[in-house]
Structure 1
Amino acid sequence: MTLQRLWNRGAIYLVLCAFAAFYLMPFYVMIITSLKPYADVNITRMWELPRGIYFDGFLEAWRLVSPNFRNSMVITVPAALISSLIGSINGYIFAKWRFRGADTLFILFLVGMFLPYQGILIPLVLTLQRFQLYGTVVGLILTHCIFGIPITALLFRGYYASIPNELVDAGKIDGCGFFGIYRWILLPISMPAFAVVLLWQFTTIWNDYLIGLVVLSNPRLAPINVAVQNIAGSWSVEWNVQMAAALIAA
């Protein structure tokens, strides 16, 4: 390797390290602030390392958000599982059971991915109120399941499209119907797709703030991201507690 190539590669790595450091600066501030006592949290000393390791911020943050952490688990786990299962069935239909208008219907499914949540909040609230689900955990789980259908259907359709049609034809010859083919042939080989979709849905639902804030008006039922926002006081903010709570929620 010539000296010129070494210099070029070194310059590339230097630039990449600079970008990585710039990207990680907020995380650095969050971590060191959460480990400081409240008296040491100051904007002029924001970048300084803590004089010691103090977990008071984490203990106070956990006391404040632990009920909401459990709420997020109760909301996220079933919503991710249900939306992934529904998406797998939809993907199976669009990939292996072709019917007239399937492509048009699939495009309409994908339109749901581009609908801004802010634009459908009022119809969402009115619909949940109509079915007496507004302000309930079940209503929020149902909302996340419905909002997750487009992306989960897209991911599973792409996965099932790569599976040979001969497997489906063999199932039909053996007497399997619609659900038989799905249950005994496609579902057992869908674990890689389920892993990806579950991870995507879990992360998306866990990180949601807007829908949880709107649907659940009771702070005791709110997910953890809403609770983290509610920690901030009107006149002062205990930044060590706030940063610790943000790290717990992350």
Structure 2
Amino acid sequence: MTAATNVLASPRPAPAGPPPRVSRSRYSLARTLKYAGLIFFLVVVLIPVYVLLVTSFKGTGDADPSRAWALPQLWTLDNWATAWTALSPAILRSLAIVVPSSIISAFLGSLNGFVLARWSFRGADLVFTLILFGMFIPYQAVMIPLNQLVLNLGVPTGVPTLIMLHVVYGIPITTLIFRNYYMTVPHELIEAGRVDGAGMLRTYWSIVLPISIPSFVVVLIWQFTSAWNDFLFAVFFSSSQNGPVTVALNNLANGALLQNYGVSMAGALFASLPTLLVYIVLGKYFVGGLMSGSVKG
């Protein structure tokens, strides 16, 4: 009874006070500065887009560098029609180049990455290092021997040659991305496939490939953008009749003595639209694929 009385009579600890609060004015100032900085950088990034867009709607006399910031005096769609007529065949050829080259290089890089990451063999690190050398050799340094090699192989110039080149030169980066991705795959998954009697190809097709979608998204976006924006290979191994949109856009911008800036700007927007749509549609998957790796399945 005495103990119970003592417990009841013992003073209770005072409740902890509220946590210190950050001054509302300081918080509002920090948030304002953050959004102001974001808006500033957004404006800087969108300035070229604004110039491209407004110039594409200007007539020949209105599209002048001195009036680059001004809105069109007379809005017209003639520039867009002219640019589409000139670039539409090249856009289709670019699609014929980038789609198969991106898929083939991604698939080959996936196979290479799986073998180098999870099916070790003697000299695997050396092979991986030699593959990575392809990423650090400047393209300009190999143009002359590469041109001679393509001539000796007899590959037709234009779309076939550019597909082959983008596949070959895309293997190093795709191998690197997939190898790093497969290094994080739990080893127990591979061992379970071996216990069930699956060989290397069966393990890859049934176990590894289904969990590789995030890396495939990253690689396909990367390869699509690189191949679509390529100009160096296109200049050396194609012409205005069988080349991609980058060559056609260059010819459109330099094909007349009197520069038509409105047509050039409309053509630039047409040429950049596919990659822009790819990033808008698949941008979140691109970031998710880059960040994935710790948990699979």
TM tier relative to shorter chain: over 0.9
Q: Deviations over 1:175-212 (max 9, x none)?
A: 11111111111112211211111111111101111111
| Structure 2 partner of 1:248 | 270
1:238 deviates by 0.8
1:242 deviates by 0.4
1:131 to 150, 153, 160: 153
Q: Does 1:7 align with 2:29?
A: yes
- What 5-or-longer segments of structure 2 have no aligned partner? 1-22, 273-297
2:47 to 25, 47, 63: 25
| Structure 2 partner of 1:144 | 166
1:7 deviates by 2.7
Q: Does 1:64 align with 2:86?
A: yes
1:237 deviates by 1.3
Q: Does 1:90 align with 2:103?
A: no
1:20 deviates by 2.3
Aligned partners of 1:162, 1:38: CA distance in 2, in Å? Answer: 57
Aligned partners of 1:189, 1:4: CA distance in 2, in Å? Answer: 46
Q: Does 1:39 align with 2:58?
A: no
CA contact (8 A) 2:64 2:261 kept: no
Aligned partners of 2:176, 2:234: CA distance in 1, in Å? Answer: 25
Greater Cα offset, 170-179 or 7-16: 7-16
CA contact (8 A) 1:67 1:220 kept: no
CA contact (8 A) 1:207 1:225 kept: yes
2:77 to 42, 51, 55: 55
SS at structure 1 position matched to 2:61:
helix
Which is bigger in relative contact order (C-alpha 8 A, separation at least 6)?
A: 1
1:110 deviates by 1.5
CA contact (8 A) 2:114 2:204 kept: yes
Greater Cα offset, 189-198 or 50-59: 50-59
Q: TM-score, normalised by structure 1?
A: 0.94
| Structure 1 partner of 2:276 | none
1:227 to 238, 248, 251: 248
Letter in 1 for 2:41: F
Q: TM-score, normalised by structure 2?
A: 0.80
SS at structure 2 position matched to 1:39:
coil
1:12 deviates by 3.6
Pick the structure with greater CA Rg: 2
SS at structure 1 position matched to 2:241:
helix
1:41 deviates by 0.8
1:222 deviates by 0.6
Aligned partners of 1:148, 1:32: CA distance in 2, in Å? Answer: 36
1:174 to 185, 190, 196: 196
Letter in 2 for 1:123: P
1:172 deviates by 1.3
- What 5-or-longer segments of structure 1 have no aligned partner? none
Q: Deviations over 1:57-99 (max 9, x none)?
A: 1110000011100100111100001000000000001110111
Aligned residues: 249
Aligned partners of 2:161, 2:40: CA distance in 1, in Å? Answer: 45
| Structure 1 partner of 2:141 | 119
Letter in 1 for 2:163: I
Query: What value does the CA root-mean-square deviation take over the aligned residues?
Result: 1.5
Aligned partners of 1:140, 1:233: CA distance in 2, in Å? Answer: 24
Aligned partners of 1:167, 1:103: CA distance in 2, in Å? Answer: 22
1:4 deviates by 3.3
1:114 deviates by 1.4
CA contact (8 A) 2:246 2:271 kept: yes
1:104 deviates by 2.1
Distance verdict in 2 for CA 1:52–1:236, change over 3 Å:
closer
Letter in 2 for 1:117: Y
